[in-house]
A and B are shown apart, each in its own frame.
Chain A
Amino acid sequence: MSHLDEGTLHALLDGELETNEVAEIQAHLGGCSACGLRLREVKEFLAEADRLIASVDAGELSSSQPRTAAATVPPPAAAPEPRPRPRAAPVTPATEPWNEPPPLLLPDNETAADRRINRLRRVNQAAMVAVVVGLGLVWNNLYRGKSTPAASETDSVLPQPTAVVSAAETARPDSVPSRPLRAAAAADSAPVRVARASAPAPSPAPAAAAPEKQRAPRDDLQSVDSAAESTDTGHGGDSAAVEDIATVRARAGEALAELARERRRNQAAAATAALDNEKRRRAAAAPERAAPAAVAPTPLPPPPPPTVEQRAGIYLRIGLDEASRQLGAPTHVIEGMVPMFMGLAQGRSVTGGDTTRPVVRVVYQDPQGRLILLDQQRIRPGQTGLQSSALAWTQGEQALWLHGEANAQVLRGYRDRVR
């Protein structure tokens, strides 16, 4: 085997050779130090070239201000490290300007299926928002249903009678029968316990805390009773004192009744809110259940392959006579090639051409199957100063443009044969 050429070594390092070729080369490299040295040199060049090309990204990114959202992206801290061999699309830093969401300027023709899917998505999003708000209301109401009565019974209502009793006790210690007060307290607290037991418990912790909260007023009531009983043993028979105690008892009874009413109001509010939320949840769940059924049976059909007319971008086929009539002169053709057809092109005019005239496009196909398009358009009589290039020029009173699916080099070859 002769020495390995540089192209083969690059192909080897790029992973482009077949397994048997690689084996042959490895066998040769095992016995040829000159090729081994050359391989090392090629490796260096390859790595250095890759590093240089990659470095253009970081350097230029920081020097050119991005046009859109990338203006807020900070520049990368340092140039990227030399990349490994790019076997697939190279990985680039996330801050590159081309990693922004691309500014899609092309027309977006939304299909009926897309519109339906988007509408269902919007309904689903609205339903989710409704569910979240509903859950928030339920939680809020449950939380208030637990916390407000507890706060009111311990902070605002109960200390008041206790303080009144203490004041009454110090002012005039008299004996008062305690049974009616105890009975009233029992009568007031019983319905509250029943209502609370029937209310839904949001979590085990508040449920466990509830008996503690219920016990607190009863303890306070017992202290009121015991205070009253203690005064009962030392003094007795004073009608004024009995009247005061009766007033205190009446106030305590009113306070307990108010407490019970407050509890019932809270329980009722929580139950009403829970009911409303349940209705909302059902209403919100209905479109969610309907959505998959509506989306499932609409798979997108595969797009039909484009026709040759679509590839060529013409909207109407015409004959040679009609083409000559549109151009006001014989149609230009590429010598030595047989046109597939000719037609009128849509939405594109030859630079400098008379835009009131249609573009006549002669369509050819080269041996590789690529479409070669020769556009022709009448220019205004006497018009000068038209732009021209290697593939766009004027000939007589017509502007011509040669383009298509082949590259410029191939097209330039055809350009010389346009007659």
Chain B
Amino acid sequence: MTADLAQLFEQYYASLVRMLYRRTGDRDRAEDLAQETFARAVAAPPDNPRPWLFAVALNLVREDGRRATTRGRRLELLRAEHDQSAAAPDAEFERREAAARVHAALAMLNERDREALLLKAEGFDYEEIAATLGLAKGAVGTTLARARRRLVEAYRTQERGKNVAS
């Protein structure tokens, strides 16, 4: 590994895993995808690394998502079993529930909106988001506006549903 690539790894690995984790909800998968992203960077060192790495990572998520649909369902089942067996404190249980609702709300966004939102959360500016997602810079504000509104509305809808159910 060259010094530059090692520096890239140190600089962006955590951010990449975090973004992938928010995107997939599966930490192991996020780490695997981040590793795969850097493996591709070894084969073809990028000129503009940050947008390149995140674009490749998001592409991998999309490719992986199709294959992993069944596996994901299985994981969810396993996780549900684990959650039931572990007697979590109330606050912890509430936090998990809230996180699951956020994941569900994120899943209701379209691909581009969700990715723009996650990249913004990683500190990307509009120009970098545009470069990563292949958008015009002028469209990023509108995309983020729609994404934020839909995320909040989807989350609030779930909150209301939860309150009615309980």
- Asked if A244 lies at the interface with its beta carbon under 8 angstroms from chain B, I say no
Closest beta carbon of chain B to A219's beta carbon, Å = 70
Q: Is the CB of B145 within 8 A of A7?
A: yes
Q: Is the CB of A310 within 8 A of B45?
A: yes
CA–CA, A54 to B18, complex, Å?
A: 10
A residues in contact with B142, CB < 8 Å: 5-7, 10
Q: Is the CB of A45 within 8 A of B66?
A: no
Q: Which of B4, B15, B126, B144 has the largest count of A CB atoms less than 10 A from its CB?
A: B144
CA–CA, A416 to B48, complex, Å?
A: 28
Fill in one digit per residue for A145-159: 1 if any B CB lies within 8 Å of its CB, else 0: 000000000000000
B residues in contact with A108, CB < 8 Å: 1, 6
Closest beta carbon of chain A to B8's beta carbon, Å = 10
A residues in contact with B76, CB < 8 Å: none
Q: Is the CB of B22 within 8 A of A56?
A: yes
Q: Which of B25, B43, B63, B145 has the largest count of A CB atoms less than 10 A from its CB?
A: B145
Q: Which residue of B lies closest to A99 (CB)?
A: B14
A residues in contact with B1, CB < 8 Å: 104, 106-109
B residues in contact with A59, CB < 8 Å: 95-96, 98-100, 102
Q: Which residue of A lies closest to B60 (CB)?
A: A408
Closest beta carbon of chain A to B62's beta carbon, Å = 5
Q: Is the CB of B123 within 8 A of A53?
A: no
Within 110-166 of B, Cβ neighbours of A (below 8 Å) are at 117-118, 120-123, 125-126, 133-134, 139-149, 151-152, 155
Task: Say which residue of A9, A88, A97 sits within 8 Å of B145 (CB atoms).
Answer: A9
Q: Is the CB of A102 within 8 A of B126?
A: no
Chain A: interface size category = 35 or more
Known: A54-B121, A67-B28, A107-B1. A60 touches B133 (CB 8 A): no
- Asked if B87 lies at the interface with its beta carbon under 8 angstroms from chain A, I say no
Fill in one digit per residue for A287-312: 1 if any B CB lies within 8 Å of its CB, else 0: 00000000000001001001000111
Closest beta carbon of chain A to B24's beta carbon, Å = 10
Q: Which residue of B lies closest to A108 (CB)?
A: B1
Task: Say which residue of B15, B95, B99, B139 sits within 8 Å of A89 (CB atoms).
Answer: B15
Q: Is the CB of B95 within 8 A of A53?
A: no
Q: Is the CB of B134 within 8 A of A109?
A: no
CA–CA, A97 to B30, complex, Å?
A: 11
B residues in contact with A303, CB < 8 Å: 2-4
Known: A53-B22, A303-B2. A104 touches B134 (CB 8 A): no
Chain B: interface size category = 35 or more
Q: Is the CB of A312 within 8 A of B95?
A: no
- Asked if A42 lies at the interface with its beta carbon under 8 angstroms from chain B, I say yes
- Asked if A50 lies at the interface with its beta carbon under 8 angstroms from chain B, I say yes
A residues in contact with B102, CB < 8 Å: 52-53, 55-56, 59
Fill in one digit per residue for B9-31: 1 if any A CB lies within 8 Å of its CB, else 0: 11001110110011001111001
CA–CA, A108 to B95, complex, Å?
A: 40
Q: Is the CB of A371 within 8 A of B98?
A: no
Q: Is the CB of A90 within 8 A of B59?
A: no
Q: Which residue of A lies closest to B16 (CB)?
A: A98
Closest beta carbon of chain A to B51's beta carbon, Å = 10
CA–CA, A11 to B146, complex, Å?
A: 12
Q: Which residue of A lies closest to B35 (CB)?
A: A105
Fill in one digit per residue for B64-81: 1 if any A CB lies within 8 Å of its CB, else 0: 001100000000000100
CA–CA, A105 to B149, complex, Å?
A: 39
Task: Say which residue of B3, B83, B125, B140 sits within 8 Å of A300 (CB atoms).
Answer: B3
CA–CA, A49 to B67, complex, Å?
A: 29
Task: Say which residue of B2, B62, B95, B98 sits within 8 Å of A109 (CB atoms).
Answer: B2
Task: Say which residue of A50, A54, A313, A407 sits within 8 Å of B133 (CB atoms).
Answer: A407
- Asked if B55 lies at the interface with its beta carbon under 8 angstroms from chain A, I say yes
- Asked if B33 lies at the interface with its beta carbon under 8 angstroms from chain A, I say no
Q: Which residue of B lies closest to A300 (CB)?
A: B3
Task: Say which residue of B10, B59, B145 sits within 8 Å of A42 (CB atoms).
Answer: B145
- Asked if A2 lies at the interface with its beta carbon under 8 angstroms from chain B, I say no
A residues in contact with B99, CB < 8 Å: 55-56, 58-60, 63
- Asked if A220 lies at the interface with its beta carbon under 8 angstroms from chain B, I say no
Query: 14 A-B pairs, CB-CB below 8 angstroms?
Result: A7-B142, A10-B145, A14-B126, A56-B22, A78-B91, A90-B121, A98-B13, A99-B14, A108-B6, A306-B44, A348-B43, A387-B67, A408-B62, A408-B63
- Extra inter-chain contacts (7) besides given A58-B95, A405-B46, CB under 8 Å: A49-B148, A56-B99, A98-B17, A102-B9, A105-B35, A306-B45, A311-B44
Closest 9 CB pairs of A and B: A59-B99, A7-B142, A7-B141, A11-B141, A89-B123, A49-B148, A98-B14, A6-B145, A98-B17
